[in-house]
């Protein structure tokens, strides 16, 4: 049952990533953001769509089919989400992007994105414990 829940959440995240980047590229963000913010955002589509979403997809497929590789790819996606979440957090703190007076509702969205990305990334990475419990699969991968 937990596998189905995790796979469903992973697929939801895939939809969120594709939805976010679709909206991002449709909107005129150059006029809404500073040049530094815009360039910072442009560094995320490739890792989001080229690494994290494929890992989420393979992880979800593995979870649905109850295969060990599902956990492995979920952990890979989680570690990527943590990394990108920390980078986003650091940039936003350094550039006062969480300042609601300065950024308005975008500040709330930025805070939400960072919190959700880090929280779900940590949850996925916690699956490594499950991977270690399956010692045969763990030995094949890491020994």
Cα angle, residue 13 at apex, residues 43 and 50 outer, rounded to 5°: 40
How far is Cα 71 from Cα 65, in angstroms, rounded to an integer?
11
Range of the domain at 16: 2-142
pLDDT of residue 44: 92
pLDDT of residue 103: 72
What is the mean pLDDT for each group of 10 consecutive residues in the chain (143 residues)? Answer: 84 94 86 85 93 96 88 89 90 81 77 86 73 56 48
pLDDT of residue 128: 62
Split into its structural domains, the chain has a count of 1
Task: Please return the burial class of 66, using the count of CB atoms within 10 Å of its CB with bins 0-12, 13-18 and 19+.
Answer: exposed
pLDDT of residue 131: 58
pLDDT of residue 143: 46
């Amino acid at each position: 049952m937990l596998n189905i829940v995790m796979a469903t959440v992973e697929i939801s995240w895939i939809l969120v990533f594709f939805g976010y980047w679709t909206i991002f590229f449709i909107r005129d963000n150059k006029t809404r953001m500073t040049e530094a913010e815009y360039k910072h955002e442009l560094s995320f589509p490739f890792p989001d769509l080229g690494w994290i979403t494929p890992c989420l997809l393979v992880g979800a497929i593995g979870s649905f089919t109850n295969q060990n590789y599902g956990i492995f790819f979920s952990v890979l996606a989680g570690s990527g989400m943590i990394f990108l979440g920390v980078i986003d957090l650091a940039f936003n703190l350094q550039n006062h992007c969480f300042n609601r007076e300065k950024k308005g509702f975008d500040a709330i969205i930025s805070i939400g994105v960072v919190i959700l990305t880090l929280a779900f990334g940590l949850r996925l990475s916690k699956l490594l414990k499950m991977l270690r419990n399956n010692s045969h699969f763990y030995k094949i991968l890491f020994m």
